[in-house]
Amino acid sequence: MPVDGPHREDAIRIARERMLEDGLLRASVPDSLVAAEIEQSWRRSISHRVDPGAEPLVLGEIDPDTAVLRAAGRVLDQWHENLTQSRLALLLADEHGRILSRRIVDAQDERILDRANAIEGFDFSERALGTNGLGTPIEARDVVFVRGTEHFNEKLARLACAGAPIKHPVTGRIVGSLSFASHVDVSSPLMVAMVRQAGQQIA
């Protein structure tokens, strides 16, 4: 029987903690609990010894002339304008998972993202924070939807993030990632289609 709401969040947290305790070889996660890409990301995070309570680190100054930032500017502007009645925030990262740009509609979401250090310059790579909506699409090379306690880092548990890798249109190399983020209580699966479209527009 599917588990919904707070009970699902608790079950996911318990499954993730059990994987940390039991180790990669012994731990297993029910197929119905999380998507395969989330479990795979958890396993990568554990193998890289990611601390679930780690604070994001600043990776240094952002070059405003970086290619992905220049390519994304107009697309981010358009989506930000179209989402003025929503509770969605937009975050752009470079190929290393460093946040380059953040667009916020609602001040309430700004406070949530600030508490999670989801701010320009901070490292949201999967090797730094584990499963999340910016670093995991880069590692998986595909769109991912990370909700609540599916995040590896405890500070991101109030967020839902649909993330897409941004691929160079000629070489196919990953040059960054894009995430649509919201409070987990107002998230929607539609975020996946939206971030996929926006990522393709940037590419």
* C-alpha to C-alpha distance for 155 and 144, rounded to whole angstroms: 19
Distances (CA, A) of 200 to 19, 48, 100, 114, 168: 34, 30, 18, 27, 10
* C-alpha to C-alpha distance for 135 and 94, rounded to whole angstroms: 10
Provide the pLDDT confidence category of residue 1 given band limits of 50, 70 and 90.
Answer: very low
- Each residue of 11-56: pLDDT tens digit? 998 888 888 888 777 777 877 788 999 999 999 999 999 999 998 8
Please tell me whether residue 40 adopts helix, strand or coil conformation: helix
111 token code pair: 């406070």
Looking at the predicted structure, is the pLDDT value of residue 158 above 60? yes
* C-alpha to C-alpha distance for 163 and 177, rounded to whole angstroms: 7
Buried b (16+ CB within 10 A) or exposed e, 35-59: eebbbbbbebbbeeebebeeebeeb
Predicted pLDDT at 2? 45
- Each residue of 89-145: pLDDT tens digit? 999 999 999 999 999 988 888 999 999 999 999 999 999 999 999 999 999 999 999
- Write the single-letter amino acid at 145: F
Q: Comparing C-alpha atoms, which of 132, 158, 159, 154 is closest to residue 144?
A: 132
- Each residue of 165-201: pLDDT tens digit? 999 999 999 999 999 999 999 999 999 999 999 999 9
Provide the pLDDT confidence category of residue 5 given band limits of 50, 70 and 90.
Answer: low
Predicted pLDDT at 73? 93
> Is pLDDT larger for residue 136 or for residue 57?
136
What's the whole-model pTM score?
0.91
